Amino acid sequence: MRVIDNYVNGRWVASKSTELLDVVNPATTEVMARVPLSTPEEVETAIQAAKDAFSEWRETPPVTRARYLFRLRDLMEDEFEDLARIIVQEAGKCIDEARGEVRRAIENVEVAAGIPSLMMGYGAEDIAVGIDEECVRQAMGVFCCIPPFNFPLMVSLWFAPYAIACGNTYIVKPSEQVPLSQNRLFELIDQTDLPEGVINLVNGAKVVVDTLLESPDVRGVSFVGSTAVARYIYSKGAANGKRVQAQAGAKNFLVVMPDADLDRTVPALLTSFYGCAGERCLSGAVLLPVGDVYEPLRDKFVHAASRLKVGYGLDESVQMGPVISKKHMERVLGYIEKGLDEGAKLLLDGRGIQVDECPNGYFIGPTVFGEVTPQMAIANEEIFGPVASIIKTQDLDEAIEIIHANPYGNASSIFTTSGKCAREFKYRVRCGNIGINVGIVAPMAFFPFSGTKDSFFGDLHGQGRDAVDFFTEKKVVISRWF
């Protein structure tokens, strides 16, 4: 059985750890590889390699740094389908969802390659007689990222290309559940001939994370995952003097007004609630119909969800794949039971779904609860699976009150043909990403991936100019020549 290697100082290195975890295809339950839980000493070796590479890399002109990213971009385009297939096999996505992930990953590399312009400072002459002032951006040192299982390729590229483009060096700790696409990405990075130590890969779990958080040589950390872990990363990283950006959990509400175009709204809702099997921080979780739209929307939504084809994502006709693991499947099923115990009505039951070609896969079918109240656990807690809850509301004010009562603030959308309602929603709702007739509010690579409340800890987000600000410090220079 193949054991995944680390990538340190420009070389593939086998971990000496005897602790290995299986990498399981969630559709077929096939064990595809084994991943080592690297030791603190192996993490320290990677940190030292990145530290040693920093001085020379920082002095490399931004235009030259960008050229490596252009090479990586071309290699990723050449291997586009291969990367997408690996994502399907390790994470359970449908092939089109995986292609979308690869495309957004490449877009981040492309945006980061614009670093000669993104990193420009600013200045002013004669702020006083004969005195000039300027502000320049400078690289800081070693950074790292801890990406989640649900976007195994893309999320690291919200951060890593910007970090190295700015002149920093980097360490990636992939999710131990889905290390294969990162491994393939680093095979492509190796072909770019980046200088040794500029970017490194260390597999593992909490021991690796804690070693990175405690090291005085690591200047900052980027994380995406659950709120509980994000709080831990943020508090421990900040206590050790690091910059931290921690994207956390979500409970996203989608409001549908009486004037919405249901024929276009329902397909957007299906993609939001059931794309990636509901395992994404932008997925719809609670549907808030306003007024008289409740019954026709409910009926159309349930009917459409019942027709989704569930199966192995390499089949082009499949519309929803499995959840990531048996443990997570049991967690989601537990929430369905909890919803029933709380008195919600199960309008569409995804339990016990059979996929003939993958009888042992971790499949849950699209599930819809009606007669949900805002106080129920299924309406408040992050389920991270293909479960939709419907709460009827009387007006937009009530819908916004429900949104604001929830501790999360990642994304929220409204479906309407009213500009007035759309503007009011955009202005009032306290969420980082707002959609107007858009079910998945995924920012382009040149915009920040926002988030508020318990959905984000830190100040600067991933992607775009926020990433450049995160990975640099500003130095103000005031000069006078006698």
CB-based contact 111:464 (threshold 8 Å): yes
Q: Taking the model in full, what pTM does it have?
A: 0.96
State which amino acid sits at residue 78: D
CATH assignment at residue 135: 3.40.605.10
pLDDT confidence bin for 442, thresholds 50/70/90: very high
**How many domains does the chain fold into?**
2
- Within this chain, do residues 363 and 466 fall inside the same structural domain, yes or no? no
Distance, CA of 118 to CA of 201 (rounded, Å): 26
* 442 falls within a domain: no
Any domain includes 444:
no
Start-to-end CA distance of the chain, whole Å, equals 71
Going by C-alpha positions, the residue among 140, 141, 213 that lies closest to residue 173 is: 213
Could you tell me if residue 16 is inside a domain? yes
216 and 287 within one domain: no
The residue-averaged pLDDT of 327-343 equals: 98
Q: How confident is the model at residue 379 (pLDDT cuts 50, 70, 90)?
A: very high
Q: Is position 176 within any domain?
A: yes
| Neighbouring C-alpha atoms within 13 Å toward the C-beta of 10 | 10
Single out the residue of 199, 181, 67 nearest to residue 143, CA to CA: 199
Q: Report yes or no: 136 and 121 within 8 Å, Cβ to Cβ.
A: yes
To the nearest whole number, what is the mean pLDDT of the chain? 97
Instruction: DSSP letter for 320, please.
Output: B
- pLDDT-derived band at 2, boundaries 50, 70, 90: very high
Q: What is the mean pLDDT of residues 444-451?
A: 94
Which residue, 112, 3, 432, is CA-closest to 247? 432
pLDDT over threshold 90, residue 121? no
Range of the domain at 122: 6-248+455-480
Task: Report whether 77 contacts 303 (CB < 8 A).
Answer: no
Catalytic residue numbers read 281
What DSSP line would sit under 10-33, residue for residue?
TEEE------EEEEE-TTT--EEE
Please indicate, yes or no, whether residues 257 and 229 belong to a single structural domain of this protein. no
180: closest CA among 73, 96, 283, 98? Answer: 98
What residues pair up with 24 in beta bridges, in sequence order?
31
Question: Is 33 domain-assigned?
Answer: yes
Q: Which residues pair with 472 in a beta bridge?
A: 139
Residue 405 confidence (pLDDT): 97
pLDDT mean over 391-420:
98
Helix/strand/coil for 347: strand
Q: Give a three-class secondary structure readout of 281-311.
A: CCCEEEEEEEHHHHHHHHHHHHHHHHCCCEC
Q: How confident is the model at residue 319 (pLDDT cuts 50, 70, 90)?
A: very high
Q: What is the mean pLDDT of residues 238-257?
A: 97
Cα separation, 84 vs 77, whole angstroms: 11
Partners of 456 in the β-ladder: 247
Q: Is residue 441 part of a domain?
A: no
CA distance 22 to 208: 18
* pLDDT at 185 exceeding the cut of 90: yes
Instruction: Map tokens 């604001």 to a residue.
Output: 404
Residues 237 and 264 reside in one and the same domain = no
In the prediction, which pLDDT does 84 show? 98
Amino acid at position 463, single letter: Q
The answer on 472 and 371 residing in a single domain is no
Question: What is the number of other CB atoms lying within 10 angstroms of the CB of residue 334?
Answer: 11
Q: Which residues contact 368 (CB under 8 A, 6 or more apart)?
A: 301, 302, 305, 346, 347, 348, 387, 388, 390
- Residue where the block lists tokens 């893309």: 154
pLDDT at 479 over 90: yes
Do 276 and 407 fall within a single domain?
yes
Same domain as 317, residue 223: no
**Greatest alpha-carbon span in the chain:** 83
DSSP 8-class letter at 244: E
Q: Which residue has the higher pLDDT, 4 or 122?
A: 4
SS3 145: strand
What's the pLDDT tens digit per position in 143-176?
999 999 999 999 999 999 999 999 999 999 999 9
Give me the CATH number covering residue 311. Answer: 3.40.309.10
